[in-house]
């Protein structure tokens, strides 16, 4: 993704978490692991997700698209995952997060 800010071009990786394609906790963690290239020891749980996200060293935007679908498939766990990602964004200034809900984008904070 190419972003221009105050005349400077910034490159940022974009990670898409598509709620329409995710039906289980395992699929959610697999999506993160594959797109970020997490190490084999990634535990596939929310604590491990937070740990790996706070170790990211390049600029990344995480976009949850079709979040309503994710919430339908994983009502509690989907919301918890977004909270964990937002927490990691607060802890790691290289990360940002958006949530596409009912066609609207909700940037970063709740």
- Tell me the domain boundaries of the chain: 11-107
Tens of pLDDT, residue by residue over 30-43, are 999 999 999 989 99
pLDDT digits (tens, 9 = 90+) for 47-85: 999 999 999 999 999 999 999 999 999 999 999 999 999
pLDDT band at 5 (very low <50, low <70, confident <90, very high): very low
The reported pLDDT for the residue numbered 106 is 65
From CA 79, how far away is CA 108, in angstroms rounded? 14
Return d(Cα 80, Cα 86) in angstroms, integer: 10
**11-107, which class in CATH?**
alpha beta
Task: Pick the closest to residue 57 from 93, 31, 107, 97 (CA basis).
Answer: 93
Short-list 22, 77, 85, CA closest to 51: 85
Confidence at residue 1, expressed as pLDDT on a 0 to 100 scale? 46
Specify the pLDDT at position 11. 64
- pLDDT score recorded for residue 2: 45
């Amino acid at each position: 993704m190419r972003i221009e800010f105050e005349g400077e071009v910034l490159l940022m990786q974009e990670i898409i978490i598509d709620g329409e394609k995710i039906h289980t906790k395992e699929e959610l963690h697999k999506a993160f692991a594959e797109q970020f290239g997490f190490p084999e020891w990634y535990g596939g749980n929310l604590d491990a997700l937070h740990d790996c996200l706070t170790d990211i060293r390049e600029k990344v935007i995480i976009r949850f698209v079709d979040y309503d679908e994710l919430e339908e498939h994983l009502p509690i766990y989907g919301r918890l995952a977004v909270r964990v990602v937002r927490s990691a964004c607060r802890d790691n200034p290289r990360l940002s997060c958006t949530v596409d809900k009912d066609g609207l984008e909700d940037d970063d904070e709740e």
